[in-house]
Structure 1
Amino acid sequence: MIYFDNSATTQVYPEALDTFNKVTKEIWGNPSSLHKLGDRSHQLLEASRKQIANLLGVKPYEIFFTSSGSESDNWAIKGTAQAKREFGNHIITTSIEHAAVTNTVKALEKQGFRVTMLPVDKNGFINPEDLKNALDRETILVSIMGVNNEIGSIQPIQEVSEILEEYPNVTFHVDNVQALGKNIWDKVFTPRVDLMSLSAHKFHAPRGTGIMYKKTGKMVDPLIDGGGQEKGLRSSTENLAGIAATAKAMRLYLENEEKNAQREASVKNRIVDYLKDKPGIQIFSPVSENFVPSILCFGLEGIRGETLVHTLEAKDIFTSTTSACSSRSEVESGTLNSMKVRDDIATGAIRLSFDPSNTIEQADRFIAEFDKVYKHFAEINHLK
């Protein structure tokens, strides 16, 4: 089996699974309980928080646990909007965000908030000048992803941060779900970032745990009310086993980060070298310092993406259409549409997403199997 769908989810590390199982069996007290079982759980909760904070270079009290990256995005955006509504009602985001951001701002728009979606160029990047022009006295929040989940473009977070230095009252949120562990952290997480979202199952932890970084002093209303966990900002009994496993997985994932990124790049480069001169193929994730090495999105003229995914699946090669989150709902690629890619190419796009466990041998097998598919459809569609 070749698994090239790591941006959708990753296989749980055995060590992280061991931690999850051990905590579930042995440290099952409620962290809010006052007895010794609760105290033991509370200590593990805070130790996990501290480890994650240290790995990210922030303070432990700036780390909050959620159920997913989507919840973290929702909380960051809705929580900021509600907390700052008396100061303004304008939100700025981009046209290529993950649905967890796009649908959240659309929901707020129905509640009377004004939303500006920044366009992208033909390569999938926003222009920081567009942000400058969009900012006004009513702007309370800017939400821009660090790495696009469909094509892997690294957005200019550093330039955005510099612009927002002149607007200290505007909250800056970054969805970094696809950015962790790609050896680009200094590009996507700056001191100006106020809120930041992560998802544990993207870095080999079990599903069901998300992280939100909240800079000290930033205003965010709770999304979930209840017993007052997470400093009263995110009620619900903590998923202790998932949180401990997340801390373990993050530590393992960030070990040898530069070397791991190079391994992913070697796999991507091999496949791009094969694809780049093929008629009828358009590559949306070129080999470039402005794109992560872990994502390769390309379109093949004359075939739908889901057909190509299932054809490869029959060869035990697992890929996805441009976003696994929208594949089953038959939502077309928001990113490629925003890039004004021709419909016949956009609908034929698939995404390969790599992990350090992927190999050159797997890349070569993919090429061998895909070449058969390509030649078949090239003949049908008279591609030359």
Structure 2
Amino acid sequence: MRHIVVIGGGIVGLAVANELAARGDRVTVLEKEGRWGAHQTGHNSNVVHAGLYYKPGSLKARMSVAGNRSMVEFARRHDVPVEVCGKLVVATSPDELPRLHALAERAEANGVPAELISAAEALDHEPEVACVRALRVDSTGIIDFPAVCAALVRNLREHDLRLDTPALAIRTRGAKVEVATPQGVVRADVLVNCAGLHSDRVAELAGLTPSARIVPFRGEYFELRRRDLVRGLIYPVPDPTLPFLGVHLTRMLDGSVHCGPNAVLALRREGYHWRDFSARDVLDVARFPGTWKLARKYARTGLDEVLRSLSRKRFAASLARLVPAVREHDLVPAGAGVRAQAMLPDGSLVDDFLVETAPRQVHVLNAPSPAATGSLEIAKHVADLTRE
């Protein structure tokens, strides 16, 4: 029986541990925080994505489509709240129609059931929406991802799960990987790094030079006072020249409606507010050449995102493109999340999940959205790699 140590207790790390345990391995999970899923898992929009946005054949496409099914099945099997409610992607002007049709073609290529519908048909689903046409995606759902983590922890109760246990140093000695923690050294046959916002730093601790650097982007959310304005999920047509999807409206399991996120550079890897600052994290970003190349490429977009972050009026105006009845006074601050986005030295954002390996080591270096949706599928992939 192999002993595998997993660093990171978010949904991806716990899913990997669960998969390895199911295959007969003994597992130790090290999580530096005092609770599971404390960061990306606990601060996302809780959407089970369908998989229509991603390049056909990519890991994101394959694992999101398969994960859409496996995550819903897991939730129902373990009494985790989930609802497959569908969503609309709406074109608000004629110039967005070619992109909407291209998205429909990508959905078909990825095997995602989706239907182009008229503006009148869209109003049957969302009476307050404004569009010239829409793409209806029935397999999109909403879920409680922290509850998924709790279910995975219950599955792993016979294994070694450690909260408040950061990895301080890593080395390979003989046939073992050793991880130093405040409570002592963990010796294992294989190391799996699922550290999310700190995955590149954990890889460096293990002696690797990762191909990408984590750059943290904060996504800020509001809650809509007028819940009656939104029945399900309403998304804009994504601009393929921009790195993120744009602000959208999402009904949550409790009936509340969350709006966002925007995307601004975080001044700390776990920086959920403008006041959160880490000199080390800022210096890491500033010293990385890709940061400045990205900034030059998206200078106008970045400025717009910052202004929207600082102005509730601008944020409301972005939402009003989708639902015209939304007004500034309808928005209540609802927290933020930080996306661990891997960036290459040329300034390009890593578009797919990124996993790198070394002897007795597997490192998940880029697993932003839709990683929660695809976490059970990512786990299978990573478990396979530990055998190689």
TM-score by length of 2: 0.25
Higher strand share: 2
Higher helix share: 1
TM-score by length of 1: 0.25
